[in-house]
């Protein structure tokens, strides 16, 4: 028996899934997989992996917008391929995509391309903003996560690299990297 499974995702823990949940229920989803994790990468998206694993022939994976599924063209294409391999279809409610039809598959391809473009443009703008802020002396980058002076001080006091790493909560390889840098 064909089933409609929903997938809802927001990027941060302070965002709310209620609107997506309601839309997916209206779309006839019996089960909704939800997660609060970035969509820029597939890593760590356990609920997406679960929903893809339960799809079978004639089923549909339903999302409200394509960007809930993924942000890069490659990820979206890979996910679409997994859905197709399962014999299922992808339905995107707000963008009128249904990959069970030829027109829906074509529209999906176009939307995936635009999603990738949006990500690339956003990244480009961010880098331009960082460069402008650096030129004004406003942007300094993130604060160093390693206390290089403390690493050297502890090493000079005879503390082993393993102990330094443990005490400063850092990787031992980072300790060796700092110790190998010119003082």
| Strand-pair partners of 32 | 6
As a whole number, mean pLDDT of residues 61-65 equals 95
Catalytic position from the list 5, 11, 72, 160: 11
The closest of 109, 73, 69 to 93, measured between CA atoms, is 69
CA distances from 5 to 31, 97, 145, 148 (A): 5, 15, 42, 50
DSSP string, 112-158: HHHHHHHHHHHHHHHHHHHHHHHHHT----SPPSS-HHHHHHHHHTT
CA distance 62 to 28: 9
CA distance 177 to 155: 13
Tens of pLDDT, residues 122-135: 889 999 988 888 88
Catalytic residue check, 11? yes
Tens of pLDDT, residues 6-51: 999 998 888 899 999 999 999 999 999 999 988 777 888 999 999 9
Query: What is the share, in percent, of the chain residues with pLDDT greater than 90?
Result: 43
């Amino acid at each position: 028996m064909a089933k409609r499974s929903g997938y809802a995702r927001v990027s941060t823990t302070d965002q709310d899934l209620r609107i997506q949940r309601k839309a997916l229920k209206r779309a006839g989803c019996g089960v909704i997989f939800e997660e609060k994790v970035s969509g820029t990468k597939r890593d760590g998206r356990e609920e997406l992996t679960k929903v893809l694993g339960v799809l079978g022939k004639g089923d549909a994976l339903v999302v409200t917008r394509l960007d809930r599924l993924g942000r890069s063209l490659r990820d979206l294409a890979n996910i679409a391929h997994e859905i197709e391999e399962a014999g299922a279809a992808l339905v995107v409610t707000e963008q009128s995509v249904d990959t069970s039809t030829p027109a829906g598959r074509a529209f999906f391809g176009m939307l995936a391309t635009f999603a990738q473009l949006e990500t690339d443009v956003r990244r480009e703008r961010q880098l331009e903003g960082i460069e402008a802020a650096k030129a004004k002396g406003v942007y300094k980058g993130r604060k160093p996560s390693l206390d290089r002076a403390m690493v050297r001080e502890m090493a000079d006091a005879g503390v082993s690299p393993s102990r330094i790493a443990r005490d400063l909560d850092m990787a031992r390889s980072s300790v060796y990297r700092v110790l190998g840098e010119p003082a």
